[in-house]
Structure formats: C-alpha cells, structure tokens
Amino acid sequence: MTQDNPAVEVLSSTTRLPPFLSSDTKLWFLQAEAIFTTERITSQTTKFNRVIAVLPPETLRQVADLLATPGTDPYDAIKERIHSTYTRSESKSLQLLLDNPPIGDQRPSQLLNEMRYVAGSDIPSSLLCKLWINRLPQSCRSILAASAETDPSKLAAIADRIMDTVDTITTSSVQNQISELSAQIQQLSATNARPQRTEERRRSRSRSPPRRPQRSRSRNRDYGRNRSRSRSRSRTVCWYHDRWGNNAVKCEK
C-alpha cells in the first residue's frame, strides 16, 4: 500500500489529463502517468481522483462500484478495471494484424512499430516479424529473405534502405518517361502544324488578285506606239499614199 498525502499533491497539480481514449487505454494511461511523474504525484488517491475527473459517463458506469468503495489502492484498481473492459483480446489483436492492409505510404520501420503496438506482449516476436514481412512489397521481401538477419529492428532498418532505393529509381524512371512523352507530344504537334501552314499559304494565294503577264503589257505599249506613228504619218501623207505607198495612182495633195 502506498503512503498518501493527497492534500499536498492536489495543490501542486497543474496539468489536466488528456481526454479519455477508450479505443487505446494503454496509450492513455501512459500519458496520464507521464503527467503524474512530472508533477511528482505518487498518491493512489490523487491519481484515482484525477482519472475519475476526465472519464466520460459511459466509462464511469463501468467503474461505479470502485467509486463507491475505492479500496486501499484505488488507482491500481480503476486502471486494471478499465484495461480489462476496453483492451483487445489476444485473438482480436491477431485478427487486426492479419486484416491490416499492405504497407501503403509508411516506411517499413513505421509499420513494424505500429504492429508491435497492436500486438502488445500477446503475440510472439517471431510471428509478428513474419506478419510484418508479408505486408511488405515483393521486391523488399525477396531481399529480406536472402538476409541472415533475424532481429526485427535490424530487418526494418534494411527494409527502409531498400524502399528508399526503390523510390529513388521509380522517381527517376517516371521523370524519364515524362520527358519522353513531352518530346513525343512536341513532335506530334509539329507534324500536325505543317499541313495547316501549307493550307494557310494556299488560301492566301487564292485570295490574292491575279497578275497580268508582262508580255501583254509590252504588247499594249508596242500597239500604242504604232498607232501614234500611224497618226503622225497620216498628217503628212494622203490617204492613197498612206494606203498603197508608192503604188498609189491617185493623190489628194
């Protein structure tokens, strides 16, 4: 039995316990006891009262008899009752480990730590390690299978390095594929643009007015000159000489 001095400890406490977590009572009590240690609370009665102050009504009903008759070690009693009420059984923990999805975006070491927490002390370490390896990607499992290492923590460190390397290679491969695809798109765009430019030039030519041949303008100029000469000559030569030249018989002048 612990020697209590609750009057002094209650006055010294300043931190309220976190909200009760029925889905993970083990974690919640670890947080509560960290606060007790920081505030140097050792009294069973003080701890008991601090826990009761944050329990929701549905949980208080589970420990109602302990509230009425706390006993000599009330904190230990209420902690054990809450654990027995809300803690998963061994079969339930094992089922959770079996039903969990693959690794996802976690690192292998993070997955192992999470599975350790779910398993607690109920699942043998060797079985837990096998369940953990089965949830890793095939590339990682193949390399770990060739390793002589058996310690789960060391295997997790190896698996982390494997996954980091695979992620780097995958990222580089994706970048190369993106570059190749971008080049193909640019080439395709250029190929499609050529017929369009050709069609635009054709339409531009069809809208332009037709040009007259240079020869026709030259002929027009020659014709104009001949007419001018003919007119100037007709002013000095009569019509008969203009018509028949030296063969003219008549003359008007």
- What would the mean pLDDT of 241-252 be, rounded to a whole number? 71
Neighbours of 97 (CB within 10 A): 19
What is residue 174's predicted lDDT score, i.e. its pLDDT? 46
Residue whose token pair is 């780097």: 168
Which amino acid, residue 245?
G
Tens-digit pLDDT profile for residues 157-211:
999 999 888 766 554 444 555 556 655 666 665 666 566 667 677 777 766 655 5
The residue among 99, 126, 110, 123 whose CA lies nearest residue 159 is 110
Specify burial of residue 189 (Cβ count, 10 A radius: 0-12, 13-18, 19+): exposed
What is residue 40's predicted lDDT score, i.e. its pLDDT? 94
- pTM given for the model: 0.49
Structure tokens at 177: 């594929």
Q: Is the dihedral of CA 8, 10, 14, 15 positive or negative?
A: positive
What is residue 82's predicted lDDT score, i.e. its pLDDT? 95
- What would the mean pLDDT of 61-68 be, rounded to a whole number? 94
Asked if residue 135 lies in contact with residue 111, where contact means CB atoms within 8 angstroms, the answer is yes
DSSP 8-state secondary structure symbol assigned to residue 213 = P
What is residue 48's predicted lDDT score, i.e. its pLDDT? 96
Contacts of 6 (CB under 8 A, 6+ apart): 43, 45, 46, 49
What is residue 240's predicted lDDT score, i.e. its pLDDT? 72
d(CA 62, CA 88): 16
What is residue 87's predicted lDDT score, i.e. its pLDDT? 79
Specify burial of residue 57 (Cβ count, 10 A radius: 0-12, 13-18, 19+): exposed
